[in-house]
Chain A
Amino acid sequence: MSYTKLTRDELARRIAQDIPEGAYVNLGIGMPTLVGNHLPKDREIFLHSENGILGMGPAPAPGEEDADLINAGKEPVTLLTGGAYFHHTDSFAMMRGGHLDIAVLGAFQVSVTGDLANWSTGEPGAIPAVGGAMDLAVGAKSVWVMMEHLTKRGESKIVARCTYPLTGIGVVKRVYTDLAVIDITSHGLVASRLVAGLSFDELQRLTGVPLLPSGARAAA
């Protein structure tokens, strides 16, 4: 049987639909930023930006950009009515202190025990840069990873043990990939919402590390 991977926007929409009303959420730089474009209009969701914004709104209209109002990716944004500004130390207290409900982060690799590698490929000679990645990884109540299931070479990015430098240990709760949703539980990895046409056996073959079909968890 053939299947089609989710596009980035389809994946972003799937994640956005799972964010409940009232959640305080940080969307990481890169692909996770797309989730902001798909948040359900009928829910009030608070977006946090590490550089001191809660209630961050969408990009401004052309010509309305303000150099003093940018997101973590240094792009111009807006503030929703009711939003707030604060300084960096408070912002990272929100992150590290467990006040954020969800952080959606990109990743190079996630291990079966929820280890996250997303800040460095460990390439010799590369200039290391970490930003707020490690603070977000340890702090949010739920860390969700948004990534492609496979590397360009077809290797699973869900691995027994991360080979890239770690960002945090045992921090990831759930992985949204372009093939399925993988929950990291005490029983193991539970796969659900496989894309249409993709069988569990095929997903298992592609992933390499043991998966449980959703429902098996209740049975276990």
Chain B
Amino acid sequence: MIDKIVPSVDAALADVRDGSTVLVGGFGGAGVPAELIDALIAQGAKDLTIVNNNAGNGEVGVAALLKAGRVRKIVCSYPRLADGYVFEALYRAGKVELELVPQGTLSERMRAAGAGIGAFYTPTGYGTYLAKGKETRKIDGKGYVLEHPLRGDVALVKAERGDRWGNLVYRKSARNFGPTMASAAKCTIAQVYEIVELGALDPECIVTPGIFVTRVVKVPRKEGGNRIPAGGVTRGISGRAAV
């Protein structure tokens, strides 16, 4: 019997090695696999390359991983956040490397990795600083930049619901990078709030089919569910979760 469900976040991350490239889902506070990131800090792997849309906020999530000194390099589109002081200090001290990638290119590079594409030409960034040193080409009169796939050793993804075959569904805009990252890593670990019986997810509506998922782990819902705490619209987002 195939059962991708593991009993704990610690068990899910036990074999993450030093020097790994880790794809971490989430955009702002939505879709951040917070429990898996905490477990990665506890697990102790270091010299990591982290791929995330941002570079951490406050001192939680990716910022906590940075603060713990585990990150060698960040690949992201938007490292400048209101509370991004942990990254900022490390970056200015030359202690973390930054590869800045336009957001759509970041996503498409992971899609390419998951889809077996060798490289692709994108119009995004053509003629700009972010295309410096990259191969370019005119196709039908329009300028394009050659971009390469971005593979993960591990992907950490937050979904709403999963089953023992690894099929996943998400919730609202928390889906963001999850499905693409799930396809782009050798080992994809999904944290879910609910594990359901096989067949309970409507096959027409499964967003990430289990072939892209290695492990599923259930985490408890936070107190208050998805409600943003009163008076905490900004704090709630930039505080706990905005990785």
Closest A residue to B84 by CB, please name it: A127
Q: Could you say which of B6-14, B43-51, B120-128, B148-156 contacts chain A? A: B120-128
Enumerate 16 A-B pairs (CB-CB under 8 Å) in ascending A order: A52-B173, A67-B30, A69-B172, A70-B28, A74-B28, A88-B103, A88-B177, A130-B77, A130-B101, A130-B102, A131-B103, A132-B103, A135-B102, A138-B123, A165-B129, A166-B127
* Contact A127-B91, Cβ < 8 Å, known A67-B226, A168-B128, A169-B126: yes
Asked whether any CB of chain A lies closer than 8 Å to the CB of B175, the reply is yes
The answer to whether B172 and A87 touch across the interface, beta carbons within 8 angstroms, is no
Binding site of A, secondary structure by majority: helix, strand, loop or mixed?
loop
Asked whether any CB of chain B lies closer than 8 Å to the CB of A147, the reply is no
Closest B residue to A74 by CB, please name it: B28
**Which residues from A are CB-within-8-Å of B98?**
127-128
Chain B: interface residue count, which band? Answer: 35 or more
Q: Give min CB distance, A207 to chain B, whole Å.
A: 24
**Which residues from B are CB-within-8-Å of A125?**
92
Q: Could you say which of A3-11, A89-97, A149-157, A192-200 contacts chain B? A: A89-97
Q: Mark A residues whose CB is within 8 Å of B.
A: 49-53, 63, 65-70, 74-76, 79, 85-89, 91-92, 95-96, 120, 125, 127-135, 138-139, 165-169
Rounded to whole angstroms, the CA-CA distance of A68 and B170 in the bound complex is 10
Q: Give min CB distance, A50 to chain B, whole Å.
A: 7
Q: Give min CB distance, A114 to chain B, whole Å.
A: 12
Q: Give min CB distance, B127 to chain A, whole Å.
A: 4
**Which residues from A are CB-within-8-Å of B237?**
67, 70, 74-76
The answer to whether A130 and B103 touch across the interface, beta carbons within 8 angstroms, is yes
The answer to whether B173 and A49 touch across the interface, beta carbons within 8 angstroms, is yes
